[in-house]
Structure 1
Amino acid sequence: MLANVCRRRLTIPLSPILAAAAAAASGKNPIHSNHARALLSQSYYSSAVQAAPDREPCPTTVSYLVSCGVSPAVAAARKVRIRDTDRADAVRALLRKYGFSEADITRTVRLDPLLLTFDPDRTIRPKLDFFVSLGIQPRLLATEPHILARSLEKHIIPCIEFFRTILRTDDNIRIAVSRVPRALMTDIESTMRPAVEAFLSHGLSMEAIAKLLMIHMGMIKTPPERIREAFHDLKALGLRVTDTGFLYGFRVICSLRRETMVRKVAVFKSFGVSESDLFRAFKTQPTILLVGDETIKKKFRFFLDVMKLEIADVMAQPLTLALSLEKNIMPRVFSERYVLRHAKDVPDVVKAFEGKIKFQGFGESEVRTSVPLND
């Protein structure tokens, strides 16, 4: 059934999907795609600030960017000219004042060096203050610094007002935007509003839309046609809009591209997972398809080779595939195998494992020397 959904969604026959999945499972890569990344438009930058024309990199600019931690290659590729290093220093100092770490500043400069040419007090500070007023840590914008180049009055504030009509409270806005700051780069009329109208037309209530945006604010960027396809696919999988897992499934379906879906199906099949087991696991825990390929392989090897579990038993508990192997699964296995099983006989072992007994060091009788000491 999951493959049938892929077939409808990807508009390619079922057999090529399964063939591609099998080929990928054997180590081949049958899919080659060239998705050109659209360059960020400069239209939202201040008209008084212009990127340098296509010319040889300015040595002074490259040197300054490198001093900020940007690699020479990236610095040379940026078509920007920093004419006032004092202003650039002031911009970096302002970011530090608002909680940006040096790593945050480096990331900000690497992604959008044109910000270094802005007036820090007149152009950047008001935006940082606005985010602080919402309870949003400005340093989170380091993941999408282009936001600081957008107009506060014409774009940022209207976006927040639009979100407020859906999320209702500033606390919800703070949580949602902090998780996905790039959502603030979305245009209201061409993208946000059509997405919300599409959600409503397919049966989601405003409360459900709010929950979906809390799960992942990036869903506000989903084109109406993609929304229609996702609803169709989830309905085919037996998920209704009122089901608990529907919104999570929607987020996953919208996040996966064609080649990604084929590749992930191949990874599961390479470990002997049947399509029906994968379908049931997806309905229970949709996020298993968002786990990285190598991470999935590592977990399967641990479950099958170390814990000696059957693949059907693993797929019957799909939450384990979404948990961290190092932080959750392995510590739990260790505690069950080597600590909790001895709780009755040696209760102090459990207390020590839980940190309730402080380590006092080794006694003199426990210290052994492997080499005799010379006089």
Structure 2
Amino acid sequence: MFASICRRRLLRLRQIPSDAGINPSLPNPSDALLSHACSSAALAGFPVSKPCPTTISYLISCGLSPAAASACKRRIRSTAKADAVRALLRTYGYTDADITEVVRRDPSILILDPDRILRPKLDLFASLRVKPRTLATAPTLLTRSLDKHLLPCIQFLRGIIGVDSDVSSAICRAPRALHQADLDKNMRPVVDALRRLGLPDKSISKLLTIDMCVLTISVDRITQIFDDIKALGLGVTDTGFVYGVSRFCRLSRETCLRKVALYRSFGVSEGDLQKAIKRQPTILGFSDESIKKKLRFFLDDLKFELSEVMERPVLIGYSLEKTIIPRCAVISVLMRERKIDPNIKLPWALLGSAKVFSERYVLRHAQDVPDVVKAYEGKIAFEGFRDRDVLVPLKP
């Protein structure tokens, strides 16, 4: 039904002339001016591979910087059509900022026929409730064939994932994957491989919903990822397995091994690392510098035991500057004011969502200790904890 609705819409739209509203037998003044300007630019010595001055000017009017406009190799031969494309995008909810992003990422969108080429695709994504901002970050999707690529791929996803809301979520999380994946070369073989390797259909649906990028890698790489994740102690029925596949498919095998070696260099045992990855596979996805910075803060500044961190690997996923340090500042203020036990189990206290932490430590004490609000907002610097009235300072 989904495909038939889209095809009926497409058939109706194809009845619209390719240049609706423009009489091709009459010259367009702006087109004539642009053509003359481009011809003059070529005669004046402008390389053919570079856009003419009028094209540069038009791209600047779209919000591009002069440097970005000059770097564009596309030549806009019809400003009227380009204007129509921008007008069409606005009718589908694109803001000026979104349109600028579209043009910056793929100026060729401006030369597509707005009614015959773009409108059916915009209708398709609108029917799936894919937000304009998502397409603005991956405008090349609008250059793919509707009949040969978009509709077949989306119909395939719908058969695996299920409801359209989850298909929309999948596209919004990884729009470029829908552009890059080929139905017969990637999507079907990968799904077949996932089934052959023992991943239940429910887990496959979840995996594609959280990360369609898995559909862009080879079957051999998928097999290798399964072997590597199983070697870390995760089974295909474990909750964290699909998250491990998602994380590993975005990293090369060499990068994954380097992350493992980095954790081991801090003294993490193989067993503890396996348990941590099983609980939180995403700990392998952070940059080397981020991992080092967080572990050093926990071990050197907060005096945590390494086992305390690895037993709560979600801590490694928190932002140091935006989450960990502000929470430490709040707890430090409450310790100073004797509102909480100085022997509180700090690793446990730092856990939880922003809402949970705020209700537990900030809102509960905001009236008696106004400084907790300032500390949570970063207006009071964290300088260390008091342990039995002795300040444990941060290292410089």
What TM bracket, shorter-length normalisation?
0.7 to 0.9
1:129 equivalenced with 2:120 (yes/no): no
1:75 equivalenced with 2:69 (yes/no): yes
Partner of 1:261: 256
Question: 2: distance between equivalents of 1:165 and 1:211?
Answer: 13
1:106 equivalenced with 2:100 (yes/no): yes
Out of 290, 301, 319, which is 1:324 matched to?
A: 319
> TM-score normalized by structure 2?
0.69
Q: Is the 8 A contact 2:232 2:277 kept in 1?
A: no
Out of 212, 215, 220, which is 2:215 matched to?
A: 220
Measure how far apart 1:73 and its partner are.
Answer: 4.2
Letter in 2 for 1:264: K
Partner of 1:158: 152
1:193-212 paired onto structure 2 within 5 Å? 193-212=188-207
Partner of 1:350: 365
1:312 equivalenced with 2:307 (yes/no): yes
1:177 equivalenced with 2:133 (yes/no): no
Flag the structure with more relative contact order, 1 or 2, with Cα contacts below 8 A and sequence separation at least 6: 1
CA RMSD, aligned part only?
A: 3.1
Percent identity reads 51
Partner of 1:236: 231
Measure how far apart 1:167 and its partner are.
Answer: 1.0
Question: 1: distance between equivalents of 2:255 and 2:315?
Answer: 21
Is the partner of 2:323 in helix, strand or coil? helix
Is the partner of 1:241 in helix, strand or coil? coil
Deviates more, 1:163-172 or 1:147-156: 147-156
1:47-62 paired onto structure 2 within 5 Å? 55-62=49-56
Q: Is the 8 A contact 1:98 1:139 kept in 2?
A: no
Q: 1:347 to 1:234 in 2, by over 3 A?
A: closer
Is the partner of 1:350 in helix, strand or coil? coil
Measure how far apart 1:125 and its partner are.
Answer: 2.1
Q: Is the 8 A contact 1:177 1:217 kept in 2?
A: yes
Q: Is the 8 A contact 1:343 1:349 kept in 2?
A: no
Partner of 1:338: 333
Q: 1:244 to 1:262 in 2, by over 3 A?
A: closer
Out of 266, 274, 292, which is 1:279 matched to?
A: 274
Letter in 2 for 1:350: H
Out of 241, 244, 248, which is 1:249 matched to?
A: 244
Letter in 2 for 1:91: V
Measure how far apart 1:129 and its partner are.
Answer: 1.9
Question: 2: distance between equivalents of 1:130 and 1:199?
Answer: 28
Out of 106, 120, 129, which is 2:114 matched to?
A: 120
Is the partner of 1:220 in helix, strand or coil? helix
Measure how far apart 1:82 and its partner are.
Answer: 0.3
Letter in 1 for 2:57: S
Q: Over residues 294-323 of structure 1, what are the superposed CA-to-partner deviations in whole Å (9 max), with x where a residue is unaligned?
A: 322332233234322233322221110012
Question: 2: distance between equivalents of 1:54 and 1:304?
Answer: 60
Q: Is the 8 A contact 1:61 1:81 kept in 2?
A: yes
Q: Is the 8 A contact 1:352 1:358 kept in 2?
A: no
Q: Is the 8 A contact 2:330 2:362 kept in 1?
A: no
Letter in 1 for 2:96: E
Q: Is the 8 A contact 1:339 1:349 kept in 2?
A: no
The count of corresponding residues between Structure 1 and Structure 2 is 307
